[in-house]
Chains A and B, each alone.
Chain A
Amino acid sequence: MVAPEVTLTHLNRADGSATYTHNGYAIIGAVNGPIEVQRRDEQPEEATLEVNVRPSAGVGTPRERHLETLLYNTLRSIILTRLIPRTLVQITLQVRSLPEEDTSAGVNTSLTLLPHLLHTAFLSLLSASIPLSTTLTSVLVAFPSSTTKSSTPLLTPTANELLRAKPIRSTHVFAFSGDRRLLLNESDGKFSYEEWEEACEMAEEICCKEEDQGGISLGESMEVDGAVQSQNLEKWLREVVTRKVEYEQRWKNAT
């Protein structure tokens, strides 16, 4: 698996922004906040959250509204909304491009998009310095139908891999917080509790695996430019931010 590519704070008019590219999915996220809130949406004890998802083509449909609801529920549980009461945090996510095989892969396209949207939203929030209680990482797990020969579960498959593994029996999206709590789960298809548990364990492994434990690692710790690539998504997230902070402080550190 290739680690996602991220550019942080590249839009200079938004309070925070991130562009995220992974497996052919490209999403631009922008966060404005805390800003003034409309009177009718104002909440006396906490911040109001607004999530807008814009598709790559056309205007938003009920599908985007559903994705917004999921993002809203998840982000509301990690943003410390009580620290910034009577304000608005506005998150806008624009899907820039999807992989070509996205619609023909035979799985629910909202599920394949959801982990990427979550990552983009979280990175944009970080970039905007919105108070957060924990980190967030998300992953997609797909189980191919057992009749086909390759019945091993696919972890963060590309659209092409899904297409080749067709028919897919079940797909699962998991999101974990930094302290290993399961924040979001969307599972679709036909499966038993044991399979769900297996998928959940695999996802937790990828999202927040400890350094020195065995098991599946992300990208088998590729050596890129001498630096060891991230082992899990949580570490990858921290590396992305560290790199950005180091870059911004290059003058301070050099002198």
Chain B
Amino acid sequence: MATAASAPPPALTFPRPIFAAVSPHPFLQAHLSADKSAIRANGRAAHEFRTPGVNTGSLTHCNGSAVVRLGNTSVVCGVRAEILREEDTPGTSAPAAVDASGEVDDDEINEEGEDEIADLRLLVPNIELSTGSTPAHIPGNAPSTAQQSLITRIRTLLHSTQLLRARDLRITHTPPTNASDPDAAPESELKGYWVLYLDVFFLSLDGCAFDAAWLSILAALKHTRLPRAYFDDEYEGILCSDDPAEAASLNLRGLPVPSSFAVFEGRGEGEGEKGSDWVLSDPDAFEEGVCREIVTITVDQGTIRRVEKSGGGVVGRETMKTLVKRAVERWGVVEKATHGRA
């Protein structure tokens, strides 16, 4: 295997795609260690990300939707809102307390009142890979470990960044008169919640599944408009207003943007010798197949929201510093892309 990389006999030559398929690791190493122009097999420099393409509002029957492209990775995300009635929520959530915090909940982050989004599972992300989107995916099977792991990561990030405000999802009602004390002002009471189903569908997957899925969710949520829901006293149920002018957008907290990096560990000439290492931004599927160590840093403006790193020990404190810098730069690019057209 190593002989094919270092010195193939003159008689034995491969065309490019065959070399890549037969020995992927030496193929990428040969690209990266080229003297003059060290460039990855996909034509990018080691630090170069793919330009994100964001297109929102392409699906008609959704409350919000987005198509995101990162090179050959293309993802569709649709947000559908459904109503969860207050009487259907588990009784332990103590509606009175929730209602009280709803009154207090101002613009500042109210950590106590935010538990209901996680507790009542008001956000339901799901990931599906379309048939033929990636060779690793066998259609018709139960979701693979990779898919389940991806959903968990998205769910965790949704909750830990507190992207959505519980106030936006609450459906409250203020009765015309106060039943207990006719003279006092009527108190608003909680009647239900909006539950958001975030369905992410991969049309094609060429690396960086998490980044693409998260960007599509972010763009779709930015574009989501919920109709005005109100409690009808005579009907004794929640109705939605038909007037699009009354619909409200979601007020998201910040814009957390993940950036993934893959560490390519070069092999030395001799047996057991270690070569130099490269950290590749935004790896594609071929590079992910060769690299073992993956680092994902989620940044919102200057602050880090999440760091995930596993698979090897190349990235230490020093390298992490440069990666954080790269992630912050990437945040600016993505921020422009999501605002530019949305």
Q: Please list the residues of chain A having a beta carbon within 8 angstroms of any beta carbon in chain B.
A: 62-63, 65-66, 68-70, 73-74, 76-77, 108, 110, 167, 172, 177, 181-193, 196-197, 200-201
Q: Is the interface of B mostly helix, strand, loop or mixed?
A: mixed
Contact count band on B:
20 to 34
Given contacts A66-B153, A192-B303, A196-B320, contact A185 B308 (CB under 8 A): yes
Residue in A69, A70, A191, A201 whose beta carbon sits within 8 Å of that of B304 in the complex? A191
Would you list 30 pairs from A and B whose C-beta atoms are within 8 A, ordered by A residue?
A: A65-B145, A65-B152, A69-B145, A69-B149, A73-B294, A74-B310, A77-B311, A110-B156, A172-B307, A181-B314, A182-B313, A182-B316, A182-B317, A183-B310, A184-B309, A184-B310, A186-B308, A187-B304, A189-B160, A192-B303, A192-B304, A193-B304, A193-B320, A193-B324, A196-B304, A196-B324, A197-B321, A200-B317, A200-B320, A201-B317
Nearest CB in chain A to that of B305: its residue: A190
**Contact A68 B304, beta carbon cutoff 8 Å:** no
Q: Give the shortest distance, in Å, between B131 (CB) and chain A (any CB).
A: 20
B268 CB–A CB distance under 8 Å: no
Nearest CB in chain A to that of B157: its residue: A188
B178 CB–A CB distance under 8 Å: no
**Contact A65 B316, beta carbon cutoff 8 Å:** no
| Contacts between the two chains (Cβ within 8 Å), count | 94
Nearest CB in chain B to that of A60: its residue: B148
B293 CB–A CB distance under 8 Å: yes
B302 contact set on A, CB distance < 8 A: 192
Q: Give the shortest distance, in Å, between B213 (CB) and chain A (any CB).
A: 14
**Contact A183 B312, beta carbon cutoff 8 Å:** yes
B228 CB–A CB distance under 8 Å: no
B181 CB–A CB distance under 8 Å: no
**Contact A188 B310, beta carbon cutoff 8 Å:** no
B242 CB–A CB distance under 8 Å: no
B306 CB–A CB distance under 8 Å: yes
A48 to B140, CA, bound (A): 24
Given contacts A66-B149, A182-B309, contact A167 B156 (CB under 8 A): no
B315 CB–A CB distance under 8 Å: yes
Nearest CB in chain A to that of B162: its residue: A190
A187 contact set on B, CB distance < 8 A: 304, 306-308
A156 to B304, CA, bound (A): 22
Q: Give the shortest distance, in Å, between B21 (CB) and chain A (any CB).
A: 16
**Contact A68 B317, beta carbon cutoff 8 Å:** no
